[in-house]
Amino acid sequence: MEIIIATGNRHKLIELQDILGSHTLLLPEDIGIDFDFEETGESFLTNSKGKAFDLFNRINRPVIADDSGLSVHALNGEPGIYSARYGSTGGKELEARARNLYLLDKLEGKDDLSAEFICCMTLVMDTNRFFIVQESLKGEITRTFAGINGFGYDPIFYLPEYGKTVAELAEEEKNKISHRGKAGYRIARLLEEI
């Protein structure tokens, strides 16, 4: 099945393609659609569902959308739904490393470094036929960068049971345990049943 992923982020498409390998995944730009959804919801669920239906209503084809981010307990859930825009000012987004440094600065003097990645994923097959899953990956923030795989907060998100950051995991290993990977596998099982 051909499925359009409601994002401009090719990293997300690559991660999902590994999980949904039997399906052809495309970005909106691959089919000539300029897609830029403004995430104004107050939850991962609202943003994921809004993004999915916005694109579906434009193309009337199967769509997958996700909204994901990092929730740090000592910061009352920040950056949360603002993970990609965290620390941005005047409409200018920080690069990933600068966002990570901004987060580490906000954690200065905090003892509780527990955190989790959260991913809410929506699959829309038709206006009245859609599926939503939400998954998480628990870990903690490390004050030193490690690893070159992944993107975003992966180099400072430490998994004690693995003794590594997410950025130190091989792609296949990451896809099995990550928030997006777990949500993607649930969507893959749903697609098998459809």
Residues with active-site annotation: 67
CB 39 within 8 A of CB 85: no
The span from the CA of 92 to the CA of 79, in Å, is 16
The answer to whether 67 touches 120, Cβ cutoff 8 Å, is yes
How far apart, in whole angstroms, are the C-alpha atoms of residue 138 and residue 155?
Answer: 15
Residue 112's alpha-carbon distances to 72, 74, 76, 81, 170, in angstroms, are 9, 6, 11, 21, 27
Bridge partners, 105 (sequence order)? none
127, burial (CB in 10 Å: exposed 0-12, middle 13-18, buried 19+): exposed
